[in-house]
Amino acid sequence: MQRHQLRSVSRAPGSGFLHRLPDAVVTFDLEWRYAFLNRQAEINHQCRPGELLGRCVWDVFPEGRELETYRRYMRAIETQAEDIFDEYLPMFGRWYEQRLFPAPHALTVVARDITDWRELNEERAQLASRLAALEAEAGRDEARGDVPLAIVREPATAPSEDEERAVRIIVTVFPKPGRRNELIALFQSGAALLEAVAASGALSSELQVPDDPSGPLVLTVLCESAAQYVRWTTHPQRRSVLDEVVPLAEEVCIERYEVVRLATAARDRES
């Protein structure tokens, strides 16, 4: 008889609109038995209509007693005060915003799945944190004059000094609007650049200027060995070159390649 009464509550007149809600709606009696579940709640519980009616929620989900949800439900019944909170429910594997509506003989819970919303907000927070860190780093660099205006990108790791292969360095410079000719003149006649090339022990250097006036400038330098390049990365002359180039550029990309003389090796094998 009692089960029949609970089923009649589940399909009581006027409750039809609750089954069309995208949020889960559940009502418990004072013994924490399911008295009503709308369609979304049944989907969340993966149960058939009426299957859970009359069963105690803490018997269905014993782990629920360890959650903040349990404490909030108890407090709402004791104080008869509405409440709202978010919690991850491991039995469903999702985050829910729960709104509690207590009554003298029951507690109704409206639960909204906010998992996707939380994940999106966490991604935004992580991106904002990384952006703030980059901006702070850029501010420190500007304060000490390391990289005053442009973004300088180069390999994160340098080759070890044990490597004796020649190394080709390709420096791609993207000029600021209207500063292209100044950069070309700097590369062609700048004393700092000539001194820097000499200090690096470079075997050769070449500046490539594209016909496209909006294209980047490409400086190629061939170093005797990886060890020479490593010493060059800490050479003071390198900073003086960047100090002249960076104010005229939007971005400077530095790439490093090992030079493998395949043709020479083939001739050696033939001899």
pLDDT value at position 148?
Answer: 44
Under a CB-based contact definition with an 8 Å cutoff, are residues 6 and 53 in contact? yes
Q: Looking at per-residue confidence, does 4 or 77 come out higher?
A: 77
Q: How far apart are CA 70 and CA 78, in angstroms?
A: 12
CATH assignment at residue 38 = 3.30.450.20
pLDDT digits (tens, 9 = 90+) for 14-24: 457 788 888 99
Q: Are residues 158 and 258 in the same domain?
A: yes
Q: Are residues 72 and 162 in the same domain?
A: no
Q: How far apart are CA 249 and CA 214, in angstroms?
A: 12
pLDDT score of 149 more than 60: no
Strongest mean pLDDT among 114-123, 127-136, 157-166, 204-213 = 114-123
- On average, the pLDDT of the chain sits at 77
Q: Are residues 10 and 89 in the same domain?
A: yes
Question: Phi then psi for 186, rounded to 5 degrees?
Answer: -65, -45
Q: How far apart are CA 156 and CA 143, in angstroms?
A: 23
**Stretch 218-242: mean pLDDT, rounded?**
72
Q: Cα Rg for the chain, rounded, in angstroms?
A: 35
Give domain status of residue 112, yes or no. Answer: yes
Residue 26's pLDDT band, with cuts at 50, 70 and 90, is very high
Residue 147's pLDDT band, with cuts at 50, 70 and 90, is very low
Per 3-state DSSP, the chain is made up of helix, strand and coil in percentages (nearest 5) of 45, 25, 30
Q: Are residues 155 and 259 in the same domain?
A: yes
Under a CB-based contact definition with an 8 Å cutoff, are residues 170 and 218 in contact? yes
pLDDT score of 192 more than 60: no
Q: How far apart are CA 80 and CA 23, in angstroms?
A: 22
pLDDT value at position 224?
Answer: 74
pLDDT score of 254 more than 90: no
pLDDT score of 256 more than 80: no
* Nearest CA-CA partner of 242 in 190, 188, 178, 181: 190
Give domain status of residue 101, yes or no. Answer: yes
pLDDT score of 7 more than 80: no
Residue 263's pLDDT band, with cuts at 50, 70 and 90, is very low
The domain of 90 spans: 2-116
Please measure the distance between the N-terminal and C-terminal CA atoms of the chain and give it in whole angstroms.
102
- Cβ count near 162 (within 10 Å): 8
How are beta strands 94-103 and 167-175 bridged, if at all? unpaired
DSSP for residue 148: S
Residue 196's pLDDT band, with cuts at 50, 70 and 90, is low
Strongest mean pLDDT among 190-194, 209-213, 236-240 = 209-213
| Total number of domains in the chain | 2
**Stretch 178-182: mean pLDDT, rounded?**
82
pLDDT value at position 127?
Answer: 73
pLDDT digits (tens, 9 = 90+) for 96-126: 999 999 999 999 999 999 998 888 888 777 7
Of 116, 138, 161, the last residue of a domain is 116
pLDDT score of 56 more than 70: yes
Q: How far apart are CA 209 and CA 172, in angstroms?
A: 11
Under a CB-based contact definition with an 8 Å cutoff, are residues 132 and 98 in contact? no
Residue 142's pLDDT band, with cuts at 50, 70 and 90, is low
